[in-house]
Amino acid sequence: MEPLTWTGSIAFLNPILALALGLMALSIVVWMLASMVLPEDQMTVNPDGTLTSSSGLRNLIQAALRYSFLASVGLAVAYVLLGILMGTSAGIIGAISQQFLPVWLSLIFLYAMSIAFKRKLGLYGKLFDSPIGMIGFGLVMFWVFTGIFGALDLIVTHDPLSQISGMKNKVPGTPLPNLEDGQYAWYLLGGDNLARDVFSRMVKGAWIVVQIAPLATMFAFMVGITLGLPAGYYSGRLDTLLSFLANLILAFPVILLFYLLVTPEIVATGVPNYMAAILFVFPIIFLGVLLNSRYYTRPNFRTPLLIGVLGVALWLYLSLISTGGYIINTDSYRIWGLPTYLDLFDIPGGILVVFVSVVFVNSPTVFRIVRGLALDIKTRDYVAAAQTRGEGPWYIMLWEILPNARGPLIVDFCLRIGYTTILLGTLGFFGLGLPPESPDWGSTINEGRKLLSVYLHPALPPALALLSLVLGLNLLADGLREESLKD
């Protein structure tokens, strides 16, 4: 079987794409130079009162940049569409495009529904009025769908842990030497130094990021909000104590703190399990206080609601921190948690340690942000009006202050997922936390960089995946910030 080239029968698009990218790069350079040298365009007032800039060199440069960018995007879409239709005839790009078909369909459906109902979707709907936000959202959701469909084995071509003889460090598009029934015929992005499929490992690595980064960030926000709101609202000694503890953690170098938390010696003592038992109780506290403050004047509805919600939350909490029915399970002692038949799921030890470490490191920063917002917002007139109505402190914090702080918090949430993704990659790169054979992007980059001077293909795909996801999260945060400022 013949090896695949990158573009196969659609190679005629290559010079056109190179021309479009070259023009776009040239336009960017000229635009940057022109912004420093050329004077500002003169503005003219139209009869209807609107302003337009007079035609000049600046407008010409901006038009060249706009059209070259649109041409590049259009050609990229053409590669994907032709790749889906032609498959391996369109080379590696065609085969990869075809493998990602569930992702493309999901993105199209998501965008179509979001744009159709964007006026009813609040801040999320307004995101689709921002080109930057739409691009960032598309990049993020691409990897979210990739992780989900990759976990369902709808995208991967081979087992990410399996080794095939003769495929060690093979270049992208290399066919399998001894093809068996049901096997995919090529390593689309080549093989690594252990003869594993780089493409499948990249896809499976997305699922690890999708599992840990958003959930860990959400738990960190639960901890930060639960402690930051009363610290900012009450101030005084409570604020001093909590701020001191937060500053104590923040004073420690983040990477060094991660190293300490995920080292085998610390893990063997059960410290991460104790931390999980403490940190993971904050979402239960948050839910309980949220519902109690909202329905405090309706006890007949509040009591059964709290019993049901907190009962399920406590069950999930015990399942989350228990492994094999035990909260703590060391060589020296055990602490029982749940009967095995009630333990819904077991989180692998490496993932739990990384999860707890991310929550612990991010919580103080979220606390300081929430505290600062609470100190500012509690002086507003609508807070004074709520106090005059006789509302309780927690009602004011959760239903008056928190909703009015949502803009900065949503933006920081997106950025913090990006930081968490980088931290996960860093831990994987140094072989900490997750198992050595894990297909997470950091571990894959670390394994590939050992032969980087000879073979580029094992390290580049996960590195570009990590780059594109973090870029998407940053663009998404910019789009959300832009739209939230219009409120």
Q: Per-domain residue ranges for the chain?
A: 205-441
Q: How far apart, in whole angstroms, are the C-alpha atoms of residue 74 and residue 366?
A: 40
Return phi, psi of residue 163, to 5°: -115, 130
Nearest to 420 by CA among 276, 258, 223, 217: 217
Give bridge partners of residue 329 from the DSSP assignment.
Answer: 334
What residue type is 156 in one-letter code?
V
**Confidence at residue 304, expressed as pLDDT on a 0 to 100 scale:** 93
Question: Buried b / exposed e across 117-149, counting CB within 10 Å, b at 16+?
Answer: eeeeeeebbbbbebebbbbbbebbbbbbbbbbb
Q: How far apart, in whole angstroms, are the C-alpha atoms of residue 472 and residue 415?
A: 10
Q: How far apart, in whole angstroms, are the C-alpha atoms of residue 281 and residue 483?
A: 34
126's CB contacts (< 8 A; 6+ apart) are 118, 483, 486
Helix or strand holding residue 328 (H, E): strand 326-329
**Confidence at residue 180, expressed as pLDDT on a 0 to 100 scale:** 79
Q: How far apart, in whole angstroms, are the C-alpha atoms of residue 216 and residue 219?
A: 5
Q: How far apart, in whole angstroms, are the C-alpha atoms of residue 402 and residue 414?
A: 17
Q: How far apart, in whole angstroms, are the C-alpha atoms of residue 424 and residue 446?
A: 13
What residue type is 1 in one-letter code?
M
Cα torsion angle, 187, 442, 147, 466, sign = negative
Averages of pLDDT over runs of 10 residues in the chain (487 residues) are 88 92 90 74 57 63 86 92 92 93 94 88 81 90 94 90 88 86 87 90 90 89 93 91 91 77 74 83 91 88 92 86 69 66 67 82 92 92 89 90 88 88 80 75 84 81 91 89 72
What residue type is 337 in one-letter code?
G
**Residue at token pair 């992005």:** 189
Nearest to 371 by CA among 245, 249, 220, 225: 225
Please, are residues 457 and 92 in contact by the beta-carbon 8 Å criterion? no
**Confidence at residue 487, expressed as pLDDT on a 0 to 100 scale:** 59
Outline where 38-155 has alpha helix (H): 57-86, 91-99, 101-116, 122-126, 131-151
- State both tokens at 331: 């060589």
